[in-house]
Amino acid sequence: MGNRFKAFHGKHHFRDYMKNVLVKVRSGRHDGLQGLYGKICDGCTPDDAIKKGLTFERIDPEINFIWIDDPAPGIPLNSFAVVWEGYLYVATSRSYRFLLDADDGARLYIDGEIVIDRWDNRGAGISISDP
């Protein structure tokens, strides 16, 4: 079973807390997710960065980052957004829960439907989806 998977991460202010989220997926052509990275300009929101264009692309084998340096060339640590896209394959058909552990904004979509919406500028926290 393959589902379209999309995750977002936006960062307004760097704090001592760093996000650590683990998702292992396969994109079909590569092991990992297509990561699209963009800078959030002064006065912009993560939504603005996503709409204006994400300027750096790479395949990330998993979403499991503790960022202490810039996440990508030309993308500053203090103000960036990432969109990951790929496919999630599950071995058995049943109910699952998803977890996002993020500082500031994060969203999780599966098959185009929002599963977790934590798209705000609050401190570190964990969000868990319904089954």
**Residue-range definition of the domain harbouring residue 52:** 2-128
Asked if residue 1 has pLDDT above 60, the reply is no
For the entire predicted model, the pTM comes to 0.69
Total of domains in the chain: 1
Give the tens place of pLDDT for each residue, 2-44.
444 455 555 433 332 333 334 444 545 567 888 888 887 777 7
Lowest mean pLDDT among 5-14, 51-60, 92-101, 109-118: 5-14
Give the tens place of pLDDT for each residue, 44-64.
766 776 777 688 999 988 888
Q: What CA–CA distance (Å, rounded) separates 89 from 82? A: 22
